[in-house]
Amino acid sequence: MNTLTRLLGFTAVLAGIALASWLVWNGSSPARPRNVILITLDTTRADALGAYGRKGIATPVLDRMAAEGHVFEQAYAHAPITLPSHSSMLTGLTPPRHGVRNNIAYRLAADQLTLPEMLKARGFATSAFVSSMILDSRFGLDQGFDVYDDDIVHYTEKTAKAIVTRRAGSTFDSALAWLAAQRKTQSDQPFFSWIHLYDAHYPYDPPLPYKQAYADSPYHGEIAYMDQQIGRLVRFLKDADLYDDTLIIVTADHGESFGEHGEQTHGYFCYGATTHVPLILSQPLYGVPGQRYAHQVQSVDMLPSILQALGLEAATGLDGLLLSSDAARSVFSEAIIPSEDFYLAPVHSLKDEQYTFYYSSDLELYDRKADPGETNNLVKQQPDLAALYRDRVQLVLDSSTQTGAKASIDQATIEMLRSLGYVADGGSAVASGMDPFLLPSPRHSVGIYRRLQALRQFEEEYPFKLIEGLQAMLGEDPDQILLHRDLGRLLVLAGDEDGIDHLQRAAALQPADPRLHTFLGLGYHQFGRFEDSIGEYQLALELNPEHLIARYNLGLAQLALGQVDAAERSFETVVEQNDKDILALNNLAYIAYRHRGDSGRALALIEQARRINPEHPLLRENAKRFAEPSGG
């Protein structure tokens, strides 16, 4: 890697175990809680907990909480992915109404009213402690929180690769410290705290001793570990005389699929495996301790129920009902990843007490009472009922009041998110005005998705295996855009100019997708074809002027051609659109130091970037370098 590349950071878009104590509850419960703690377990199926019938897993803390409070047996999330689902919990709105439809590319708009904003206005202290970069404050969920602890990203001394998640133990360290300080300094002030745990997300790698005890099922080992950590919170609350005054709500943002309907992990479909979630209340608000409720509820029901539990005025215009209400609900869920990441149709669903309907480029209708595994599609047997459900789903989509605010995703963020398995960079696979339901069915393409999942595990250590696998898949499906894109990217990284042909083919198959032009531009850039790369970046920006990855790399190509003024304008535009883009700030510092002879400005820009990410290795290196006299 040459000095210029290293300085500017041109990389990565291409590139006995039941140790939990059986805590003693006294069984008493106030008529009304004073505080609320919302715990969200990422990627946790309802049937993974002992309270929901799971055998062979030690979750004594949650099981006892369920025995002393309430369990909702049929709770459903509105999306099988993290950011949209949490946005629904915190706003009481479904994704079409709050506008956050996918991870990474979206952020919750500032005009959306959230639960912490409502509570803060009523005198509550508010805090959040998240465990994955997917919930970084840049995505908008920090609204209304006095403290939003997303201090997750760090680097090891051996590698410049960022670590972008943290274990439950670390998250609870921060949460308990805040609670202790709150009790010491503001003991009379009620509080709302949200604690998000990411441990159950793939890849499953629980810490010892859970790693050994659950060697045959590490996913459940992660859940047992989270349960033990939740026990720390319960002990603290009891020791601080806060437990009886505090309602703890435990739920999940989504579940996990282990082969149901051909899906592994989550995000591609919105069947029950990835939308049926646990929902446990620590206090028996609606009946006797240990009461279980079989009526269907949904994530958006939590916000109005929390307000009611606290004795506060109900919010208006929400999509949810009170959890205590057994009124019939139609739960809306959706999986947008197929359309935004895989060039396939999206999936929207409507779930009533008996039937679930899935609306995509093909239709599915299941009678869950007779067919809980959703294996017998009734569309042909009951076409009139399917048509009725289709119209109801379309009505939800047509009544959407929020187009969705777009997140400003920078090059450094994309590099870090790739470690979580995300390769999207904030664009869309569906051209404006295009009917997404004309795209191929994700149900009929799930085989490609699963093979890609299996192959991508080899990318870091054995990229040739991924290359060979993609080549074989293209032999079977020569017009699959995603295969051309990924194969082209890998071949370019390997120094093989055949990668350009595949990137060109991908862009030709979907010319309205700015991301594909950016990938092609990066391919040209890698081989020194800077004029060609500039052309592709500019085309991407014509399609989407806010496509920051394209503009950032446009600046790099301009700088490589000696177009310093143009490069400076490109990086300045990036920073205007996203003032936390550390690599654009770094590159402006480089221009100030190397081309303007202004060491003072260079250092000021580097320090601005380091305030955002003080541990980034490139920023540390350049802070030392730019402290030396500039080259003029």
pLDDT, tens only, 409-418: 655 566 545 5
- DSSP result, 90-105: HHS--HHHH---SSSS
Tell me the sheet residues that pair with 332.
350
Are 551 and 570 a contacting pair, CB within 8 Å?
yes
Please count the structural domains in the chain. Answer: 1
Q: What pLDDT does residue 61 have? A: 98
Q: Which two tokens stand for residue 362?
A: 């093909």
The stretch 136-143 carries a mean pLDDT of: 94
Query: Has residue 518 been placed in a domain?
Result: yes
The stretch 146-159 carries a mean pLDDT of: 75
pLDDT at 447 over 90: no
Residues whose CB falls within 8 Å of the CB of residue 134, separated by 6 or more in sequence, listed in order? 82, 83, 103, 104, 417, 420
Q: What pLDDT does residue 74 have? A: 97
pLDDT, one tens digit per residue, over 527-550 is 999 999 999 999 999 998 988 889
Are 306 and 37 a contacting pair, CB within 8 Å?
no
> How many angstroms separate the CA atoms of 612 and 475, rounded?
45
- The secondary element (H helix, E strand) that includes residue 272 is helix 272-275
Band (pLDDT 50/70/90 cuts) for residue 432 is: low
Query: Has residue 272 been placed in a domain?
Result: no
Q: What pLDDT does residue 402 have? A: 60
Please state whether the peptide bond connecting residue 284 to the residue before it is cis, i.e. omega within 30 degrees of 0.
no
Q: Which two tokens stand for residue 41?
A: 């377990």
Query: Has residue 33 been placed in a domain?
Result: no
> How many angstroms separate the CA atoms of 586 and 379, rounded?
56
> If DSSP codes are grouped into helix, strand and coil, which group holds residue 544?
coil
Are 334 and 122 a contacting pair, CB within 8 Å?
no
Q: Half-sphere exposure of 283 toward its Cβ, with a 13 Å CA cutoff?
A: 23
Q: What pLDDT does residue 411 have? A: 59
Identity of the residue numbered 121: A
pLDDT at 628 over 50: yes
Identity of the residue numbered 306: I
pLDDT at 490 over 60: yes
> How many angstroms separate the CA atoms of 177 and 195, rounded?
13
Query: Has residue 32 been placed in a domain?
Result: no
Of 318, 267, 355, 340, give the one whose Cα is nearest residue 80: 267
The CATH number of the domain holding residue 547 is: 1.25.40.10
> How many angstroms separate the CA atoms of 107 and 409, rounded?
10
Residues whose CB falls within 8 Å of the CB of residue 200, separated by 6 or more in sequence, listed in order? 41, 42, 43, 44, 48, 219, 222, 223, 226, 256
Q: Which two tokens stand for residue 68?
A: 């002393």
Instruction: Give the least confident one: 20-29, 331-340, 418-427.
Output: 20-29
Query: Has residue 506 been placed in a domain?
Result: yes
> How many angstroms separate the CA atoms of 322 and 469, rounded?
50
How many angstroms from the chain centroid is the CA of residue 620?
29
> How many angstroms separate the CA atoms of 594 and 8, rounded?
12
Question: CA 271, 276, 282: angle at the middle one, nearest 5?
Answer: 170
> How many angstroms separate the CA atoms of 289 and 27, rounded?
8
Q: What pLDDT does residue 28 have? A: 45
> How many angstroms separate the CA atoms of 75 and 524, rounded?
49
> How many angstroms separate the CA atoms of 271 and 443, rounded?
11
Instruction: Give the least confident one: 180-189, 386-395, 453-462.
Output: 453-462
Q: What pLDDT does residue 403 have? A: 62
Tell me the sheet residues that pair with 192.
36, 126
Sign of CA dihedral 207, 210, 212, 216: negative
Tell me the sheet residues that pair with 147.
127
Q: Which two tokens stand for residue 31?
A: 């008529």
- The secondary element (H helix, E strand) that includes residue 277 is strand 276-277
Q: What pLDDT does residue 406 have? A: 67
Q: What pLDDT does residue 457 have? A: 76
> How many angstroms separate the CA atoms of 89 and 76, rounded?
11
> If DSSP codes are grouped into helix, strand and coil, which group holds residue 76?
strand
Q: What pLDDT does residue 23 have? A: 32
Which of 458-472, 564-578, 614-628 is predicted most confidently?
564-578
CB burial of 293-324 (b: ≥16 within 10 Å; e: otherwise) equals beebbbbbbbbbbbbbbbeeeeeeebbbbbbb
Share of the chain above pLDDT 70, in %: 87
Residues whose CB falls within 8 Å of the CB of residue 482, separated by 6 or more in sequence, listed in order? 341, 342, 343, 448, 452, 506
Long-range CB contact pairs, 301-304, < 8 A, 24+: 301/329, 302/38, 302/89, 302/92, 302/249, 302/251, 303/89, 303/90, 303/91, 303/92, 303/115, 304/92
Are 589 and 603 a contacting pair, CB within 8 Å?
yes
Phi-psi region of 9 (alpha: psi -120 to 50; beta: other; left: phi over 0): left
> If DSSP codes are grouped into helix, strand and coil, which group holds residue 310?
coil
> How many angstroms separate the CA atoms of 457 and 466, rounded?
8
Band (pLDDT 50/70/90 cuts) for residue 47 is: very high
Sign of CA dihedral 522, 527, 530, 532: negative
pLDDT at 122 over 90: yes
Q: Which domain holds residue 415?
A: 3-12+408-626
Instruction: Give the least confident one: 373-377, 383-387, 613-617.
Output: 613-617
pLDDT at 426 over 60: no
Q: What pLDDT does residue 161 have? A: 60
pLDDT at 135 over 80: yes
Task: Give the residue, 338 or 159, on which the prediction is more confident.
Answer: 338
The stretch 251-269 carries a mean pLDDT of: 95
Query: Has residue 477 been placed in a domain?
Result: yes
pLDDT, one tens digit per residue, over 292-325 is 999 999 999 999 999 999 999 988 999 999 999 9
How many Å is the maximal CA-CA distance in the chain? 79
pLDDT, one tens digit per residue, over 319-347 is 999 999 999 999 999 999 998 888 899 99
> If DSSP codes are grouped into helix, strand and coil, which group holds residue 250?
strand
Residues whose CB falls within 8 Å of the CB of residue 32, separated by 6 or more in sequence, listed in order? 309, 310, 311
pLDDT, one tens digit per residue, over 492-528 is 989 999 999 999 999 999 999 999 999 999 999 999 9
Query: Has residue 74 been placed in a domain?
Result: no
Q: What pLDDT does residue 238 have? A: 97
Please state whether the peptide bond connecting residue 209 to the residue before it is cis, i.e. omega within 30 degrees of 0.
yes
> How many angstroms separate the CA atoms of 299 and 92, rounded?
8
Q: What pLDDT does residue 433 have? A: 60
Q: What pLDDT does residue 3 have? A: 45
Query: Has residue 417 been placed in a domain?
Result: yes
> How many angstroms separate the CA atoms of 612 and 78, rounded?
32
The stretch 195-211 carries a mean pLDDT of: 96
> How many angstroms separate the CA atoms of 524 and 533, rounded?
5
φ, ψ (nearest 5 deg) of residue 277: -125, 160
Band (pLDDT 50/70/90 cuts) for residue 451 is: confident
